[in-house]
Amino acid sequence: MMGEAVLDWEKRWRKAVLPFAALAVLAESPKHGYALATALRDLLGAAAPEGTLYPLLNGFERDGLTSAEWAIQETGPARKTYALTDKGRNVLKEGVERWAVFNTSLRGLIE
Amino acid sequence: MTSWTELTDANARAAFAAYFAKVDRALAALPRAEAEEIKRELELHALDAVSEAGDAQAALAQLGDPDEFLADLVADKLRARAARTFSPVDVASALARSAGAGLAGLALSTLVGIGYVVAALAIIMGVSKLFDPAAAGIYRLPDGRIFIGSGDILGGVDIIGIWFSPLAIAAGALLYLALTWVFGRATLRKVAQR
């Protein structure tokens, strides 16, 4: 019973960090939707249906955090590829700083 | 593989056909080019997942129910379009879609909808005063209170007279523009439950 509660918390944490993690993954290199989903799956497990990434990416693009273009691939069809903009990098940097403060506070509480 | 129609397995093709028919319905409110682009992205995503997992049903389940994850996306895009065009038709379409995209969307549409009703009333009162000077105005009542509205104001003094018309019309139009601008930038982002 206790274990179930903790698993439920963990599931919620993973979902909550999804936008932050998506920006961090895109900061490494531009990616198309499936590559981003795969990277996030490796990082967070199956936190949410992968289709939910597309409303998220649409919001990033609308807010100017990412830019997107249909890029020709070496093999296979053209893919819509998302890249972090300067604004996106700044937002991510601020997020990382805030996360560090949050993490430090939490560690102080639980250690 | 560039299209699900190239899948060799008949069951996989049937699963993709049913899934993308649902995607088409979910995206029907968007302009065709925009809908096709989103559909193409989802198709390539699902085909990649099939190549990796080898199972069409599992790949589509991993992508999720289009009715759930596309509702927010469509509502977001319609709001953004309304904020670009300021067309009442686009605004009405965005309001209806947002209202159907969960509780947060319903709350947002209700609040913004009330704002639009206020804007419409202001414009109607402003226009009606042009035809009937007693139709509406800003009145000082006998007890000193100020009343803005229409109807028979017994003993009330019309403070600004015909100037009420341009002011009410401008206030209504500005409210409409401001609400549409804000509405277009509102975000309804939720991560669907698995």
- For the segment B2-61, what is each residue's pLDDT rounded down to a tens digit? 888 888 888 889 999 999 999 999 999 999 999 999 999 999 999 999 988 888 899 999
**Interface contact A55-B64, CB threshold 8 A:** no
Residue B109: inside a domain, yes or no? yes
Is the interface score ipTM higher than 0.90? Answer: no
**Could you tell me the residue range of the domain that residue B104 belongs to?**
86-194
One domain, residues B93 and B168? yes
User: Cβ of B58 under 8 Å from any chain A Cβ?
Assistant: no
CA B162 – CA B160 distance, rounded (Å): 6
Half-sphere exposure of A68 (CA within 13 A, CB side): 21
State the pTM of this model.
Answer: 0.79
In a domain, B80, yes or no: no
Cα gap B111→B89, rounded to integer Å: 18
Q: For residue A53, what are its two tokens?
A: 């990434």
Partners of residue A82 in chain B, C-beta under 8 Å: none
In this structure, how many other beta carbons lie within 10 angstroms of the beta carbon of residue B147? 14
Residue B70 lies in a domain: no
Torsion of CA B115, B118, B119, B124, to 10 degrees: 160
Same domain, B110 and B29: no
Q: For chain B, what's the residue count?
A: 194
In a domain, B114, yes or no: yes
Domains: count for chain B: 2
Instruction: Say if residue B158 is in the same domain as residue B118.
Output: yes
For residue A64, give every residue at least 6 positions away whose Cβ sits within 8 Å of its Cβ, in sequence order, or none. Answer: A85, A87, A88
Residues B37 and B112 in one domain: no
Q: Does B102 touch chain A (CB under 8 A)?
A: no
The CATH number of domain A2-110, selected from 2.40.110.10, 1.10.10.10, 3.40.50.1970, 2.60.120.10:
1.10.10.10
**Does residue B75 belong to any structural domain of this protein?**
no
Whether B33 has its CB under 8 Å from any CB of chain A: the answer is no
Which residues are within 8 A (CB) of A63 and not within 5 positions of it... i.e. 6 or more apart? A87, B187
CA distance B117 to B179: 11
Q: Show residues of chain A in contact with B63, CB under 8 Å.
A: 49-51
Question: From chain A, which residues contact B within 8 Å (Cβ)?
Answer: 11, 15, 18-19, 32-34, 37-38, 46-52, 54-56, 58-59, 62-63, 76-77, 79-80
pLDDT tens for B128-173 read: 999 998 889 999 888 888 888 876 667 788 889 999 999 999 999 9
Based on the fold, state whether residues B24 and B98 are members of the same structural domain.
no
Say whether both B182 and B136 belong to one domain. Answer: yes
CB of A65 closer than 8 Å to CB of A27: no
Whether B50 and B99 share a structural domain: no
Q: Which candidate, B136, B140, B82, places its Cα nearest to that of B108?
A: B82
> E strands, B29-168, where?
136-140, 146-150, 157-158
Q: Mean pLDDT throughout B55-75?
A: 91
Q: Tell me, yes or no, whether B100 and B188 share the same domain.
A: yes
